[in-house]
Amino acid sequence: MRKNIGYIFVFSILLALKNQLNPIGGRLLTRKPIVSIVSAGLSKFGKRRGLFGRELFVEATSEAFEKCPNLDPRKDIKAAFIGMMSESLEHQGHTGPTVLDWAGLLPIQAFRTEGACGSSATAIRCGIFAIRSGLADIVLVGGVEKMTHRNTADVTEYLAMACDFPFEQWNGLTFPGLFAMVATAHMHKYSTTEEQMALVAVKNHHHGALNPKAHMQKEVPLEKAMSSRVIAWPLKLYDCSLITDGASCLVLSKPELARKFTDTPVHIIGSGQASDTIGLYERKEFTSLKAGRLAAQEAYKMAGVEASTIDVAEVHDCFTIAEILAYEDLGFCKPGEGGPFIEEGQSHIGGSVAVCTSGGLKAKGHPVGATGTAQAYEIYLQLTGQAGKRQVKGAEIGLTHNVGGLGATGVVNIYSRE
């Protein structure tokens, strides 16, 4: 009898330790949450005529605050970090105080973060630094960009400022051209096909059609994607993300305070960032974005998880080839297997990892300053069961992958639900 009681006691201790170390579906998590998301907001993405970026940001913050009635924004939020890439688009700098004024959050301290297309992902990182340093318990992070009132030539020029000026911009290179070189290198090295890239567009437009806030909410058949006009060979119209207006935000808190504001917090359990040369011509390899790969390694290590653990991911699909590279850089498949990965449906909802369930930059849109926190917004919805028709069943661990320029900035965050 005593022997049996001893066994039961030891078993109970082991079970308690198991539950402590494996709080998510039995999968080992070795790290505590870094920060918690207690709410999130997103404006409608698209051509938002007659509105300034600051008004779009108010849409995002209004949703976040309405979802979190226990939060008193002016009292509880101690700092804001706002991502925006270009002053040229609206002829407006000094973004932090500008958007906070309209959101009713003055006089808290405001900071603008800039990492090209990764600008609001760097805002998340700054929010993490602020909370983990003890300087603030609750912060607002977000991003905004108003783009569609400018013509395509102007937007292309402003975006090209995120690549090297004397050796790339000066010689006429733009991001479609740069990513086209990456695509041809990947095709040459790994036999990746134009059809495989087009399948990324087909998938993401399917997901975007399920997202009421996406810019483009329509299916695109493979034949249409393949026959669309060439932008920079091998990239065609449907291989390229949309010029979009939009804003997004998250409210981050210390993990121990999260339950004060919500019953369904989402925790950031791993975070990584790295940098690479701004010029493609300086890279040793064209078939991988090193900064994103290194950021992922750092985030996985911090979270104590592996790529196979991820249920849902928002990756930086500014061009379809970029999503294929992301599969490989994030470890969802081996280098060179990104083409077959999409071809086999592994990145669809119901596949091994659901990728860009929001529609991604490809269909949801890419208002560059807002993209990083917009990706986190989608993961927040997925992990709290609020993603509607595009909900990934049983999603427990998510990932966002945001790169700036041609991968000179790479930011990866990993999220878990309680």
Instruction: Specify the pairing of strand 312-314 against strand 354-355.
Output: parallel
Peptide bond preceding 33 in cis form (omega within 30 of 0): no
Q: Cα separations (Å) of 408 from 115, 163, 304, 370?
A: 9, 9, 26, 18
Q: Could you please report the per-residue DSSP string of 46-87?
A: B--TT--HHHHHHHHHHHHHHT-TT--HHHH--EEEEE---S
Q: What residues form DSSP beta bridges with 354?
A: 312
Q: Could you please report the per-residue DSSP string of 217-274?
A: -S---HHHHHHSPEEETTEEGGGBPPP-BEEEEEEEE-GGGHHHH-SS-EEEEEEEEE
Residues 6+ apart with CB under 8 A from 72: none
Q: Return phi, psi of residue 25, to 5°.
A: 55, 25
CA atoms 335, 330, 332, 370: torsion sign: negative
Q: Is 68 part of the annotated catalytic residue set?
A: no
* Among 117, 163, 318, 333, the one annotated catalytic: 117
The pair of structure tokens assigned to 230 is 């060439």
CA atoms of 389 and 136, how far apart (whole Å): 37
* Among 186, 205, 267, 366, the one annotated catalytic: 366
Number of C-beta neighbours around residue 71 at 10 A: 21
Report the Cα 385 to chain-centroid distance in Å: 18
**CA neighbours closer than 13 Å in the CB half-sphere of residue 57:** 29
**CA neighbours closer than 13 Å in the CB half-sphere of residue 120:** 32
Q: Is 366 part of the annotated catalytic residue set?
A: yes
For residue 294, which amino acid is it? Answer: L
Among all residues, which ones are annotated catalytic?
A: 117, 366
